[in-house]
Amino acid sequence: MAALSQQIIEKYHLKQVTFSLHIINAIVHIILTNLPGHAYAVTKVLLLPLLCSFFLVSVNDLKRGWCIPWALCGLWLGNICLIWGDTSKILFFFGSAFTIIGIFGYLWVLVRPVKSLPIVFVLLQLPIIWSCAFFVLFMKDDLNHMLVPIALYMTLIAMVSMLGLAHLMTAIRSSGAWFMFTGTLFYIAENGLYTADHYMAHYTFGVHIVHPCFIVAQTLMVCGYLLRETEEASFTELSAAPPTH
């Protein structure tokens, strides 16, 4: 069954098709965010399902990478609820809850035993902590009752970024590790800008800035995981190959 599915994927070029559809939808979405109205809501709903489809036809071991679809589905449901979250406290609550569930999906993917890390890791993670703390402290006077939830939310995203940095430090030459870590940085920026856009009266970044950060973050993290998987498979094959003389 798996071989048949792989033949179908290769025959119809499903990897290229799904990724192209994702990129086209992302470009159209960014264009719509710069236009009046809320037409971008249509393309926003399609962003993560298309990215998830690309992942599902590209991943080699879904049993190991099942948390990526979990993360994308959680963030997708969160996005749908938060589209109308400004007018409904219930939808805002569910949107926030689904988003946190999605973040835990990324945390689960990145939580792997790391035997040792260089001392420079301690120094490099400090800017991540400072940046998340800065966003919260900079906006604390405007957040009011949302201060604690936003602080916890930014803490989770900081943890995702620090775990991404940990993987990078153990595989510094890995393109996949670089992609994933860079994606986490865009995720921090997106959430900081989104929070400022919604809760600070004197700062308006707009969806045309916030949404591209979100798209880049999710795309880099998904592609980074796939690249890392391919790199690990290639390394395993080379290690198993008999030595040549």
Q: What is the pLDDT along the chain (245 residues), one digit of tens a residue?
A: 454 477 777 766 889 999 999 999 999 999 998 888 888 888 999 999 999 999 999 998 888 899 999 999 999 999 888 877 767 778 888 888 999 999 999 999 888 656 666 667 767 788 888 888 888 888 888 888 888 888 888 899 999 998 888 888 888 788 999 999 999 999 998 888 888 777 776 766 667 788 999 999 999 999 999 999 998 878 666 565 566 55
Q: Are residues 105 and 166 in the same domain?
A: no
Amino acid present at 234 = S
Who contacts 242 (Cβ-Cβ below 8 Å, separation ≥6)? none
Measured CA to CA, the distance from residue 80 to residue 220 in angstroms comes to 21
Q: Are residues 4 and 79 in the same domain?
A: no
Q: Are residues 227 and 159 in the same domain?
A: yes
Q: Which residue has the tokens 């906006």?
A: 139
Q: Is residue 180 part of a domain?
A: yes
Q: Are residues 131 and 214 in the same domain?
A: yes
Q: Is residue 244 part of a domain?
A: no
Q: Are residues 146 and 196 in the same domain?
A: yes
Q: Give the per-residue pLDDT at 76.
A: 95
Q: Is residue 245 part of a domain?
A: no
Q: Give the per-residue pLDDT at 120.
A: 73
Measured CA to CA, the distance from residue 14 to residue 9 in angstroms comes to 5
Number of domains in the chain: 3
Q: Are residues 94 and 155 in the same domain?
A: no
90: left (phi over 0), alpha (psi -120 to 50) or beta: alpha
- pTM for the structure as a whole: 0.87
Q: Is residue 99 part of a domain?
A: yes
Q: Is residue 161 part of a domain?
A: yes
Q: Are residues 91 and 174 in the same domain?
A: no
Q: Is residue 239 part of a domain?
A: no
Q: Give the per-residue pLDDT at 112.
A: 67
Q: Answer whether 125's CB lies under 8 Å from 155's CB.
A: no
Q: Are residues 132 and 217 in the same domain?
A: yes
Q: Are residues 74 and 178 in the same domain?
A: no
Q: Give the per-residue pLDDT at 25.
A: 96
Q: Is residue 160 part of a domain?
A: yes
Closest CA to 99 of 163, 58, 137, 152: 152
Measured CA to CA, the distance from residue 199 to residue 150 in angstroms comes to 11
Of the three residues 80, 111, 142, the one that is the final residue of a domain is 111
Q: Is residue 30 part of a domain?
A: yes
Q: Are residues 104 and 123 in the same domain?
A: no
Q: Are residues 192 and 225 in the same domain?
A: yes
Q: Are residues 97 and 127 in the same domain?
A: no
Of the three residues 75, 90, 111, the one that is the final residue of a domain is 111
Q: Give the per-residue pLDDT at 239.
A: 61
- Domain of residue 178 covers 116-232
Query: Rounded to an integer, what is the distance from CA 162 to the centroid of its chain?
Result: 14
Q: Give the per-residue pLDDT at 71.
A: 96
